[in-house]
Amino acid sequence: MIRPSLPKSRIVITCAKGVPPFLKEETSSLGLPVRAETVAGVEVEGTMEDAMKLNLFLRTGQRVLFLLRELEARNADELYAGISRIEWEDYMSPEEYLCVTSAVDNPTIRDFRFANLKCKDAIVDRIKKKVGRRPDSGPERTGVVVDLYWKGNLCSVYLDTSGEPLYRRGYRKNPLQAPMQETLAAAVVQATGWKGEGNFINPMCGSGTLAIEAALMAAEIPPGLLRKNFGFMHLKGFNRASWNRMLQKARARVKRSFPGRLVATDIEPKAICTARQHASAAGVDRLIQFSVGDYAATPIPEGPGVVILNPEYGERMGQIELLKAVYRGIGDFFKKKCQGYTGYIFTGNLDLAKRVGLKPKRRI
């Protein structure tokens, strides 16, 4: 563990709005029941080793924040004094790189960057006083990341054990226009109810994120296996042996195949080329059947299964008029070619969704 005397603490896991129900299911399956839920996150209690496990296995969470200390501060000077009292020399070496992030709602602070600066100064000044050297610091989340949540007079100081957000899996090298974040794509797949059995069909696949996240689920590949760097790795006392054991157990569970087919198509050859590259980087290219073609020509194996599309939902009036025909066509595609399947459309325009011409059983 990071520090022998560090007790269990509150762990806040952030996510996109609408995703907490799926994140809650994930944390519970890892043996960490949710104690509180917000519109964009959940709260559990656990050790630093639990935080490591969350970073390895979570598909829908974005940041895993381990509560280090709570303190009161009415203004920036009191913030500096309170942060300075934390034993930072026990948590990070001066050789490490420091990044401070924050969310601030305090009447004396007009710019959150000023709070970041005061917090950062308090940390590096304390370390220099205790060990004689100041750590380098800046905006990159590649080393130790400290997160400050300051509302009113109450400050919560967290160790961001993720470092870079968890949606940065590492496989998406060449994202196309308006790509879907990996964590949101995982939540969308979970929302369909597909669990790696039966077929998963993804016309209009773009750069392949939905199909790749589905393949990772089907093969039981934890997203954390794809990353080489997490914030917890830069904290003093990081237990490399424990982390390696987690990785070894996770790799032993990976499946080579699943009972179904995963098909992804797009009309743009460049999109399919990019999707194949991403799937290869994620280690799931063998599981996905990619092809170039119009969504209506997508090969549909005998069901059952899930068909999901993420069509454009342009905001300009002329573009919307053109898209109305596309959405009507999707409805015809569902009715004529997808018998025995459950169809889903992920869109930000409900008026366009109505053009599909099918009555939805539920909205996600």
HSE-CB of 329 using CA atoms within 13 angstroms? 13
Which residues of the chain carry a pLDDT beneath 50?
1-4, 316-317
Residue type, 263: V
Burial of residue 173 (number of CB atoms within 10 Å: 0-12, 13-18, 19+): exposed
Closest CA to 121 of 140, 135, 102: 135
ω before 304 within 30° of 0 (cis)?
Answer: yes
For helices 48-57 and 240-252, angle between their N-to-C axes, nearest 10 degrees: 30
Note the pLDDT tens digit of each residue in 281-331: 999 999 999 999 999 999 999 979 999 999 887 654 457 677 888 888 899
Q: Report the CATH number of the 9-160 domain.
A: 3.30.2130.30
Alpha-carbon gap, residue 174 to 191, rounded angstroms:
26
pLDDT in tens, 25-76: 999 999 999 999 999 999 999 999 999 999 999 999 999 999 999 999 999 9
Polymer length in residues for the chain: 364
CB 20 within 8 A of CB 38: yes
pLDDT the model gives residue 359: 62
Judge whether 219 and 254 are in contact, CB under 8 Å.
Answer: yes
Q: How far apart are CA 123 and CA 254, in angstroms?
A: 41
CATH number of 182-220+256-354: 3.40.50.150
The whole-angstrom separation of Cα 273 and Cα 279 is: 10
Q: Is 78 exposed, middle or buried (0-12, 13-18, 19+ CB in 10 A)?
A: middle
Check residue 354 and give its pLDDT.
77
Q: pLDDT at position 325, please?
A: 82
Listed by start position, the domains of the chain span 9-160, 182-220+256-354
159: nearest Cα among 83, 224, 232, 102: 232
pLDDT value of position 324: 83
Produce one character per residue of 326-335: b if its CB has 16 or more CB atoms within 10 Å, e if not.
Answer: bbebbbebbe
How far is 268 from 291, CA to CA, in rounded Å? 10
Looking at residue 363, what is its pLDDT?
A: 60
Q: What is the pTM of this model?
A: 0.93
